[in-house]
Each structure stands twice: as structure tokens, then as C-alpha cells.
Amino acid sequence: MFFICGINQGQKELSHSQLVVCAGCGGYGRYQVFMTYMCLSLFFIPVLKWGRKYYVKMSCCGAVYELNPKTGGRIAGGEKVDITERDLTLIQAGNRRQWQPGRADQTNRGMRRVCQNCGYETEEDFSFCPKCGGRL
């Protein structure tokens, strides 16, 4: 007789809806809450989960925050909880620009983009640096 078992990392998006003004980019966004965990599976059936961590990703700029475990556990349990800034710890800053190309009500005057590779500055909406070819 033999057993097929394994340990893997899982991720689950939690149901939570809260609109906020992002502290990082200043835009309107929504908290996207998800949980990561380690899981022991026996015959491909999850048997034991441990190491739960909760994260929040901003829909506006993509910033990622670690969520307080107590608040995350309450959300995972199905409670309606308002997330405050005290519950969040910044892990990765977002990358949203203050203006968006193609919108008639916005302008790109004064918005400078700087290449991380060579330091070239431009006001144009390039995806890649015209000097070195690096991603802006």
C-alpha cells in the first residue's frame, strides 16, 4: 500500500467589497483581499492548512499590503469588516501614473517619466525608454 501526499502553497481570493481613496496614488480603488497558506494534501485532497497570511491589493495602482491577521480572519469567516489604514502594512508600492493617456479631460503637462536604467527624462507616454530601450 502506498500514499500520495504533498505540500503546496495555496492562494484564495476572499469576498470583500470596500471602495477607498488610495493613500499611494490618490485615485479611487477597491480592496482586493486574498489569503495565502500552506497545505498538506493526501490523495490530492487538502487535509491540513497552516501559515495563513492575508493580503490586500489595490485595484487602482496595484499596491500590495499585508493585512492584520485578526482582521483577515474575520473577513475569511464571512464577517463584514471595514479595513482601516492601521490594519495595513505596505509590502509593494503601486505603479499608477497621475494621468492616463487618451482621456480628453486630463493633460500630461508637467508629468515627467524617468528611466530607471539610464536616467533619461521624458514627458511623452512611452512604454520603453527611447535612449536605452529599458521599460519605463
DSSP result, 3-69: --EEEEEEEEE-----EEE-TTT-SEEEEEEEEEEEEEEETTEEEEEEEEEEEEEETTT--EEEEPH
Contact (CB, 8 A) for 135 and 101: no
Q: Distance (Å, rounded) from C-alpha 110 to C-alpha 22? A: 22
C-alpha cell belonging to residue 120: 533619461
Question: What pLDDT tens digit does each residue of the chain (136 aa) get?
Answer: 777 889 999 999 999 989 998 888 888 889 999 999 999 999 888 899 999 999 999 988 889 999 999 999 999 999 999 999 999 999 998 876 544 444 444 444 446 677 877 777 777 777 788 888 887 7
Which cell goes with 97?
Answer: 501614473
**According to the model, what pLDDT value does residue 111 have?**
61
| Distance between CA atoms of residues 60 and 16, nearest Å | 16
Cell numbers found for residue 34: 486574498
